[in-house]
Every structure is written in C-alpha cells, then in structure tokens.
Structure 1
Amino acid sequence: MPAVFRPLLTAATASYAVNCALGAAVAARRVDTSGVRWVHHAVYVSTVLLTAAAGAQLAVRGDRALWRLLPVALPLAAIPWRSARSRGHVLLALSAAPAYAAALRTPGEG
C-alpha cells in the first residue's frame, strides 16, 4: 500500500532536510554563514513548528504515522543544548532522520 500524502509532514521533513544540508555545507566549509547564522536558526524553528503542526494534525486524524514521528521530539528538543561545532550536534541532528522517513512511509490513516 503506498504512503498517504500528508502536506504538513512533508513540509516538516523538507525543512529538516534543508537544515541538515545547510549544516553539512557549513561543516564542510562550503558556505560561510558567519553573517547569516540566523538562517540556520530560522530553518530550525521552521522545522520544529512544522513538525509540531504535523504531529497535531496526525493526532487529530488518528493517523498511525504519528507514532513513527514522535521520536523526532527528543533530538529537536535537545539539539539547541549541544555545541554546533561538536560531533554530538551532528549526530543528534541526524538521529531524527529515520523517524521522519518512517513517518512519511507509513501507509494509510488509522
């Protein structure tokens, strides 16, 4: 059975992917964000808000994708407390990827 299109979940996952790509580019020294560090922070806030909205929508619908999305809450809550220059920051951020992917691939509602 194919996955159901869930616009808020898709937007949250896309925002997460964009932020990971931006972080990777900065870490690889391909992008200088010294003057615009706020962009990375703004995309993080967007990711958190979109993920919360997606979770609320999934909960209201009784969509089982919610249970696959819930594990992203811990890394999203903890990442601001890890130094952005640490390996732990990167690993913590990447730890959310499997949950976003699993939620997107969860078939049907209910």
Structure 2
Amino acid sequence: MTRRREPPHAAPLFTTAAVAYAANCALGAAVASRLIDTSRFRWVHHALYIATCATTAAAVITGVRSHRPAALTLLPAAVPLAAIPYLGTHTRRHPLVALAAAPFLLAGLLVSRTPSAPSDRK
C-alpha cells in the first residue's frame, strides 16, 4: 500500500509573500519620498513585484491544496497585484492600488499562523 503524500506546510509561503510585499512597498515608498534613487537599478522594484506575485500565487495554490482557510483570505490580493501593471506607475493611483493588497496579505499571514482544525480526512 502506498502512502499518500502530505501537502507541504503552507505557512512559510504566506510569510515569504508578506515579506516580499513589505520589501517592495518599503522600496517604493523610499523612492517616492526620494530617500533612494533607483534610476540605475529600477529592475529591483520590478523583481520584488514579480517575487510578490509568484509567492502570493504559490501560497494560494499550496493553501488551497492543503485546505487551509488562509488561502481564501489571501486570494483577493491577486486583484490589485494583477491590476498594477495596467494602471500606470507615475500616478497617485499606483501606491493606492498596491496598498489595496495589504489587508489581504496581512490577513493571510495571520490566518496561516493559526492552527487549522483537525480534519476527518485520512
């Protein structure tokens, strides 16, 4: 009889997604307030954005597969993250749309840290 593989624990992915998002927001805020000049390495902000999207997607997919409620809590963050490239980056709208993902990333992180209820599945 083969043993069924347990899904990977999703909590580290939620943490990684939240850290990538926080780093991206911190860099964006520093650039907007002119504390940092990224004109020579603008790709760092883009790389952090890609990391945020990729880790958020991985957390949602892994969370759904392991039946974790945190996945559904994090899922709405996909909407503002997906909209950012299409709404322009040099307007007031950019940080507002980016910050719209914050409550879902924070809630997903917090819910992922709470122990899940025991299941009847074997």
Same fold (TM over 0.5): yes
Q: Distance in 2 between matches of 1:104 and 1:5?
A: 10
The corresponding residue for 1:85 is 90
2 CA distance for matches of 1:21 and 1:57? 27
Question: Residues 79 and 89 of structure 1 are in contact (CA less than 8 Å); yes or no, is this contact kept in structure 2?
Answer: yes
Q: How far off its partner does 1:72 sit?
A: 0.4
Partner of 1:6: 11
Count of residue correspondences: 107
Provide the residue aligned with 1:71 in structure 2: 76
Distance 1:72 1:109 in 2: 21
Which deviations, in whole Å up to 9, do the C-alpha atoms of 1:54-100 show, x marking residues without a partner? 11110111000111101101011000112211110000000110001
Unaligned runs of 5+ in 1: none
Tell me how far apart the structure 2 counterparts of residues 85 and 109 of structure 1 sit (CA, whole Å).
42
Q: 2:25 matched to 1:20?
A: yes
The verdict on how the C-alpha distance between 1:50 and 1:5 changes in structure 2, with shifts beyond 3 A counting, is closer
1:88 alignment partner AA: R
Bigger RCO of structures 1 and 2 (CA < 8 A, at least 6 apart): 1
CA contact (8 A) 1:62 1:109 kept: no
Taking structure 2 as the reference length, what is the TM-score of the superposition?
A: 0.83
Query: What TM-score do the two structures reach when normalised by structure 1?
Result: 0.92
Aligned to 2:116: 109
Aligned residue among 58, 62, 65 for 1:57: 62
Shift of residue 5 of structure 1?
7.7
Task: Give the AA of the match of 2:85.
Answer: P
